[in-house]
């Protein structure tokens, strides 16, 4: 199979080349490739299938099968819906993100066990690796939701992952917690990337944590003490240390566009990557929305809040995130392509997908100039095609 007549995004630029692939990998990239099976790109932009490393669910479904959403379908039904729906937004690989404030630690473990059991049977986006958010934290505003916060320890993390770290991407920690440095050494030795978030630590503690393997941050600026010029802070430490790759929510609202541009300038675009932080309650209409469990989510101008005014996680799908990153945050198309279609792989040490390169997985997305998805290809086969 060959894709022709598309603007192919490779290494931060658009190229006038063809791409040949089979059902497992990209086999050739070049001009004027010959073959009988042709997909006409029609002048659209061709990106590698997008990796969303921070996604809780979407469309009233959850990877964690949250208690408040349990009436909306079985675990398998919700997972299959998400796997099939996300490619319509350009996502071909997703890290199921599990958060203790919504499901509790026991339910997180049950979600891990179930996803491992059925992952091979799901059709659509690959549920590649787990992301444990809101695990070991120090910001008090989350305490009432979670209950008792455990200290980071080998025993607790082993319990969370059911003794298997092979398909775990991140576990989130506040580095100032007792035992955090020893914990960082342990989980780093298991091959995962420890993540910082929901912390009140100093810049110096962040840099010490990076010495022990800390490698990424949960949505920079959100879940941290605001920066102040007379105080050391986690955000300052993250901005200073390029060993820590920065997740950015670039919808122009969760993070002001000026701060998005500052992070990219301070860290270098190669050390930043885009996420959706899409939640199970995405897509709600404006107003007071009562969930199946009786809780209330207030939606205003397309963004979700708790009744106390706390802004909730992302409400824009990947295609809309890319649109807003360009049109609201003011980034160039090349910057958007890097942040969403190439940097997740490079920042997260993923080498089998996430870039249009010979030998990588044959996952692609064709988008128009406004990031509307026209076709998504997974494992060399057309999975989604816009009508």
Q: Given pLDDT bands bounded at 50, 70 and 90, which one contains residue 70?
A: low
Q: Mean pLDDT throughout 53-72?
A: 80
- In terms of Cα–Cα distance, which of 138, 75, 83 is closest to 108? 75
Contacts for 294 with CB less than 8 Å, ≥ 6 apart: none
Residue 385, Cα to own-chain centre: how many angstroms?
23
Q: How far is residue 138's CA from residue 145's CA, in Å, rounded to a whole number?
A: 13
Task: Give Cα 71 distance to the centre of its chain.
Answer: 26
β-pairing, 130-136 vs 91-99, is parallel
List every span in the chain annotated with CATH 3.20.20.140.
Answer: 49-355
Per residue in 311-369, pLDDT (tens digit) is 888 789 999 999 999 999 999 999 999 999 999 999 999 999 999 999 999 999 999 99
Q: State the Cα–Cα distance between residues 263 and 256, nearest whole angstrom.
A: 11
pLDDT of residue 186: 98
Element (H, E) at 14: strand 13-15
Q: What span, in angstroms and rounded, lies between the C-alpha atoms of 276 and 320?
A: 9
- For residues 105 and 262, the model is more confident at 262
Predicted TM-score of the model (pTM): 0.95
* Residue 67 pLDDT greater than 60, yes or no: no
**Portion of the chain with pLDDT greater than 90, in percent:** 81
Q: What is the pLDDT of residues 29-46, one digit of tens each?
A: 999 999 989 999 999 999
pLDDT, residue 315, reads 87
The domain defined by 2-46+369-385 folds into Urease, subunit C; domain 1 (2.30.40)
Sheet containing 303-305: which strands, arranged edge to edge? 287-290, 296-300, 303-305
How many whole angstroms separate alpha carbon 28 and alpha carbon 379?
15
User: How far is CA 287 from each of CA 57, 90, 279, 298, rounded to the nearest angstrom?
Assistant: 21, 28, 17, 6
For residues 244 and 216, the answer to whether their CB atoms sit within 8 Å is yes
Residue 285: band (very low, low, confident or very high) from pLDDT cuts 50, 70, 90 = confident
Residues of the chain with CATH 2.30.40.10: 2-46+369-385
Packing angle, helices 203-211 and 180-189, rounded to 10: 40
Instruction: Tell me if residue 108 falls in helix, strand or coil.
Output: helix
49-355 belongs to which homologous superfamily?
Answer: Metal-dependent hydrolases (3.20.20.140)
- pLDDT band, residue 69 (cuts 50/70/90): low
Mean pLDDT of the chain: 94
pLDDT digit string, tens, across residues 155-198: 999 999 999 999 999 999 999 999 999 999 999 999 999 999 99
Distance between CA atoms of residues 282 and 284, nearest Å = 6
Please state, in angstroms and rounded to a whole number, the distance separating the CA atoms of residues 15 and 357. Answer: 13
Distance CA(209)–CA(244), nearest Å, equals 10
Task: Give the angle 217-222-228 at the CA atoms, nearest 5°.
Answer: 100
Burial class (CB in 10 A: 0-12, 13-18, 19+), 339: buried
The CA-based diameter of the chain, rounded to the nearest angstrom, is 65
């Amino acid at each position: 199979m060959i894709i022709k007549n598309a603007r192919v995004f490779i290494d931060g630029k658009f190229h006038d080349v063809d791409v040949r692939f089979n059902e497992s990998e990209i086999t050739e990239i070049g001009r004027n490739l010959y073959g009988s099976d042709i997909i006409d790109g029609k002048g659209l932009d061709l990106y590698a299938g997008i990796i969303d490393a921070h996604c809780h669910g979407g469309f009233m479904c959850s990877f964690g099968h949250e208690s408040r959403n349990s009436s909306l379908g079985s675990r398998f039904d919700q997972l299959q819906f998400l796997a099939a729906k996300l490619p319509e937004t350009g996502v071909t690989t997703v890290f199921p993100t599990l958060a203790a404030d919504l499901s509790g630690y026991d339910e997180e473990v049950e979600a891990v066990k179930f996803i491992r059991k059925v992952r091979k049977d799901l059709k659509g986006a690959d549920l590649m690796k787990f992301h444990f958010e809101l695990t070991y934290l120090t910001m008090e505003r989350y305490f009432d939701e979670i209950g008792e916060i455990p200290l980071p320890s080998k025993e607790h993390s082993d319990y969370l992952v059911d003794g298997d770290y092979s398909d775990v991407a991140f576990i989130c920690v506040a580095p100032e917690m007792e035992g955090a440095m020893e914990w960082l050494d342990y989980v780093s030795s298991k091959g995962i990337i420890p993540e910082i978030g929901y912390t009140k630590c100093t810049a110096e503690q962040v840099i010490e944590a990076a010495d022990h393997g800390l490698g990424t941050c949960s949505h920079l600026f959100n879940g941290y003490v605001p920066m102040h010029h007379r105080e050391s802070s986690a955000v300052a430490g993250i901005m200073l240390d390029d060993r820590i790759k920065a997740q950015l929510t670039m919808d122009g609202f969760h993070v002001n566009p000026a701060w998005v541009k500052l992070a990219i300038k301070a860290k270098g675009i190669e050390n930043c990557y885009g996420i959706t932080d899409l939640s199970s309650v995405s897509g709600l209409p404006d107003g007071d929305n009562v969930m199946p469990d009786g809780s209330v989510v207030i939606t205003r101008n397309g963004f979700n809040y708790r009744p106390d005014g706390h802004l909730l996680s992302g409400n824009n799908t990947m295609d809309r995130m890319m649109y807003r990153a360009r049109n609201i945050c003011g980034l160039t198309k090349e910057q958007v392509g890097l942040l969403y279609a190439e940097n997740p792989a490079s920042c997260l040490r993923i080498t089998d997908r996430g870039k249009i390169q010979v030998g990588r997985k044959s996952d692609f997305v064709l988008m128009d100039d406004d990031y509307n998805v026209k076709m998504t290809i997974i494992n060399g086969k057309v999975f989604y095609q816009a009508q």
